[in-house]
Amino acid sequence: MSKKILVIGSSNTDMTVKSEKMPAPGETVLGGEFIMGPGGKGANQAVAARRLGGDVCFICKVGRDIFGDNAVAGYDREGIDTSHVLRSDKASGVALILVDKNAENSISVAPGANNDLTPEDIDSVADVIKASDYLILQLEIPVESVLRAAQIAHEAGVYVILNPAPACPLPAELFSYLSLITPNAGEVELMTGVTGELDDKVAALRKMGVSDVIITLGSRGSYVAPSGSEAELVPALKVNAVDTTAAGDTFCGALCVALSEGKDLAEAARFATKASSLTVQKMGAQSSIPYRKDL
């Protein structure tokens, strides 16, 4: 029987403009291309895990509006279990994304309904959390809710993955509930205060209570540090990147699928590297996430 992957997190509608360069504060840059599509770190990770072969349930909170309806209809079409999606009177989340010619992005999120996903909501789905094998969390819903979900999962023996994005202050208690953390280069420095060697960053996260650590390094790849064995650098694939939006989300969803299939952390990171190298070659978030056959 396939292992159950539960993703709890944000659902957004992304509005992306790609232009030659990022506007400086106060500047207008003319001549960009516009695309609109489903996004949000939670949703992207759920979609990645599903498209790559996982048995996925996604819990998020969306508004009672057209963006929310479209988003949930999309997750249904993917074959994701949406039976525990919640609704709020606030507007569904929206992200405004600017991408430059180097594929770098700047994102501003209006969380709306995502901010309404409360610890009480998490308590109401405690049985779903306990029945999962893997729980994937990010930081686009209230931190207290992330904490509650991680605690319930950890106590039930579920493998808990935190993608700590976007970076924000975290309660010390949270780290003791995590099985794996996947910060990027900036997030790990903010969390640990360590700016030097990767091994020192890993050691700092271990001291905080996490066992497995993967630090993603964009086009350089990822530093994979399983508890109890040697750390290694898994290089990224050399590709023509046009938009890196959702690279980290694809990495996270893919990694979890590979772990759920019995791969070890380094093998799973290689699978995730391949998947995210495809994501960066297309525009948009979910529009760029590959299917298993594409790998």
Q: Which is nearer to ligand ATP, 73 or 239 (CB)?
A: 239
Provide the mask over 238-277, with x wherever binding to ligand RIB is found by CB under 6 A and - wherever it is not: -------xx-xx----------------------------
Per-residue exposure over 99-123, b if at least 16 CB sit within 10 Å of its own CB, e if not: bbeebebebebebbbbbbbbbebbe
Among positions 13, 88, 179, 216, the unique one binding ligand ATP when judged by CB under 6 A: 216
Q: Is 7 in the site for ligand RIB (CB under 6 A)?
A: no
Identity at 34, one-letter amino acid code: F
Tell how strand 212-216 and strand 222-225 pair up: antiparallel
Q: Is 249 a catalytic residue?
A: yes
C-alpha 78/C-alpha 99 separation (Å) is 26
Q: Which is nearer to ligand ATP, 151 or 250 (CB)?
A: 250
Name the 3-class secondary structure at 224. strand
Residue 51: which of 235, 283, 272, 280 has the closest Cα?
272
Q: Is 287 in the site for ligand ATP (CB under 6 A)?
A: no
Provide the mask over 42-71, with x wherever binding to ligand RIB is found by CB under 6 A and - wherever it is not: --x---------------------------
Identity at 121, one-letter amino acid code: D
Considering only residues 182 through 201, tell me which ones interact with ligand ATP, judged by CB under 6 A.
Answer: 184
Among positions 149, 249, 257, 287, the unique one binding ligand ATP when judged by CB under 6 A: 249
C-alpha 172/C-alpha 18 separation (Å) is 38
Among positions 93, 142, 218, 290, the unique one binding ligand ATP when judged by CB under 6 A: 218
The entry of ligand ATP, ligand RIB, none near residue 218 (CB within 5 to 8 angstroms by kind) is ligand ATP
The entry of ligand RIB, ligand ATP, none near residue 131 (CB within 5 to 8 angstroms by kind) is none
Q: By the 8 A CB rule, do 266 and 226 touch?
A: yes
Q: Which is nearer to ligand RIB, 151 or 277 (CB)?
A: 277
C-alpha 45/C-alpha 273 separation (Å) is 14
Q: Is 14 in the site for ligand RIB (CB under 6 A)?
A: yes
Backbone φ and ψ for 123, nearest 5 degrees, come out as: -60, -35
C-alpha 196/C-alpha 126 separation (Å) is 39
DSSP secondary-structure letter at 40?
-
Residues that bind ligand RIB (CB under 6 A): 10, 12, 14, 39-41, 44, 95, 107, 109, 140, 245-246, 248-249, 285
